[in-house]
Structure 1
Amino acid sequence: MQTIDFIHPEDAAALDALKSIPVLPKVIKSFMDLGVEQLTTGLNMASKVKLSPSQLPELYNTLPPICELLDIKEPDFYLEMDPIPNAYAFGDTQTAITITSGLVEMMSEEELRGVVAHECGHIVCHHMLYHTLAYMLANATGMVEKLASLAAPLHYALMYWSRKSELSCDRVAAFIVGPQTAFSMLARLAGGPKSITSKLNLVELAEQADLYDALCKSGLWNKALQTYAVLNQDHPYTSVRLRELLKWTDTQQYQGLLTCRRICPHCHQAIDEGWRFCQHCGKKI
């Protein structure tokens, strides 16, 4: 398994375009030299719950197996009190993942695992330096917001890449938890808790992305309106994410990844070479 196995083509193209901007390396260096990572690490420690084997282990224990499968260094893992379901990764040399209380309450155990895998995807796909800058600009206030407005073209280019990068991380989630859980994870984000969305028609939801594309192509004014609507968004629309993930999980590339890493086709846990039955779910391999 290599990083390239997960990278969505639109992610790769957008990142290449981003890297071609002459001033970008200087902007990023200046930004990181401000001590953003150190500041955020301190704020995380002071205001959130740092998860560990002895601190809410039922939440913490979702992380280590994912990091082991992806062969990445384990980031810090935090729980934040916020009724809005959300998760985000931050940092480059000091990486951290935060999940909110609203997310924990809305997601099933496996769906939550999929969200954590998605955030780990930013690490395994080497997104973190640009992703951190994009996150800061998307959530900018005060002086940072004013600086972002002065560099609007760079800001919009970064937001465009950020939206495409999420498509790669959805692939990582599907690799870790399997397609059905990854799909239901996205369904929760689109429509709310399982009590409402358990019977959601996922194919029909994905088809909304095609209707959206058709609307954008139906005239210059419609295209302009929809372009304006997404300029400051760092995530693509959920229907678009679902459509792209449905297409990818139906490819030989995805099936090959599962075979390469010896993942149970039923529960998507790591298995040993000699097993005839999965020792996690008990089903025949």
Structure 2
Amino acid sequence: MIKASEFIHPEDAAALRQLESIPGFPALAKKILELGYEKLQYGINMASTIRLSDKQLPELYRHLPPICERLGIAEPEFYLQMNPNPNAYTSGDTRIFIVVTSGLVEMMDDEELDAVLAHECGHILCRHVVYNMVAQYVSMGLDALGILGSIAKPIEYALLYWSRKAELSCDRCGSIITSPEVVARVMARLAGGPRAITNHLDLEEWAKQADRYDEIRNDGLWNKALQLSVIMGQDHPFSAVRVREILRWEKSAQYRHLMQNLKAEASGKRCPKCNKPVCLEWAYCKYCGTKLG
């Protein structure tokens, strides 16, 4: 079983703490859902999309259960939306469901689709789903209020800021199931790049563009304000930033440690002394130092 604490992005954790520190916000989030928004969304989804199963498009459905099993989460309901625009999202609280569009399925190969589904499962594992729904509801509600909605705009921006950081955590979850390179490649595919081009991208060079972006963004107060005005209304980070973050995490001790532990668990072998999972190639148990036969 994988714990969210083993991979959650520190900026996600910090943004969530700030969001929950808003007086009354957690209670407000639950109250919004109690008003029926969750059931509304579930009903619309049930009537307008196709629920996948062993009997309904089984080849597509069977991508999801192994991912859920590996992450140690209950399997959500899985739906296909007939929509040429590539997209995937997770919704619900008492009944969580994942939706992918036909455009996404057509665009992605099997490995890339696994990365997308693992990303969506990351939202479940990190308990993002409720606040993502609240962010959508708040945005819809403020638009309906017109000028009065501007009073609550800071709450909307706080939710969007957290949402951008939450995506970084879920990119990590996608890379655990596939690899950081596959997740980075998905970014290029979602940007509309054809496979003939995206398969030959130098991902490290692309990641360097995020460093250049930071230089531009931090070049004086005016430039920072201009860049902030562009990003503050978005719920996803820029692609180059996501690619840099996931490739940077691949080089971290945290990533290596996590993947080593998962490999040890998959081996089925355990230390005879401490009973911790160990890799087949280990000469000694890294937990207690016992020599392995």
Q: Give the TM-score of the pair, scaled to structure 2.
A: 0.86
Alpha-carbon deviations, 1:58-99, whole Å to 9, x = none? 111111001101111111111111111111111122111111
Aligned residue type for 2:228:
T
Q: Is it true that 1:36 corresponds to 2:74 in the alignment?
A: no
Q: Is it true that 1:168 corresponds to 2:163 in the alignment?
A: no
SS in 2 for 1:167: helix
1:137 to 1:87, Cα distance in 2 relative to 1, 3 A: farther
User: 2:62, 2:198 → 1: CA distance?
Assistant: 27
Q: Which moved more, 1:44-53 or 1:178-187?
A: 178-187
Q: Is it true that 1:67 corresponds to 2:62 in the alignment?
A: no
User: 1:259, 1:164 → 2: CA distance?
Assistant: 26
Alpha-carbon deviations, 1:219-268, whole Å to 9, x = none? 222111111111111100111011010111112211221221228xxxxx
Which 5+ residue runs of structure 2 have no aligned equivalent?
270-278, 281-293
1:189 to 1:139, Cα distance in 2 relative to 1, 3 A: farther
Partner of 2:224: 223
Q: CA RMSD in A?
A: 2.2
Partner of 1:257: 258
Alpha-carbon deviations, 1:22-64, whole Å to 9, x = none? 1313421331111111111111111001111111111111110
Q: Is the 8 A contact 2:86 2:104 kept in 1?
A: yes
Superposition pairs for residues 240-251 of structure 1, below 5 Å? Answer: 240-251=241-252
Partner of 1:267: none
User: 2:67, 2:219 → 1: CA distance?
Assistant: 43
1:135 to 1:205, Cα distance in 2 relative to 1, 3 A: farther
Alpha-carbon deviations, 1:147-177, whole Å to 9, x = none? 8544101000000000000000000000001
SS in 2 for 1:262: helix
Partner of 2:273: none
Superposition pairs for residues 153-192 of structure 1, below 5 Å? Answer: 153-192=154-193
1:160 to 1:47, Cα distance in 2 relative to 1, 3 A: same
SS in 2 for 1:94: coil
Aligned residue type for 1:218:
D
1:139 to 1:74, Cα distance in 2 relative to 1, 3 A: farther
Partner of 1:273: 268
Instruction: Work out which of the two has the higher radius of gyration on C-alpha atoms and give 1 or 2.
Output: 2
User: 1:75, 1:245 → 2: CA distance?
Assistant: 25
Partner of 1:110: 111
User: 2:164, 2:240 → 1: CA distance?
Assistant: 13
Partner of 1:20: 21
Q: Which moved more, 1:34-43 or 1:188-197?
A: 188-197
Which 5+ residue runs of structure 1 have no aligned equivalent?
264-269, 277-285
1:169 to 1:137, Cα distance in 2 relative to 1, 3 A: same
SS in 2 for 1:54: coil
**TM superposition shift of 1:271:** 4.0
User: 2:93, 2:148 → 1: CA distance?
Assistant: 21
What number of residue pairs does the alignment pair up? 271
Dislocated runs of 4+, deviation >3 Å: 135-150
Partner of 2:289: none
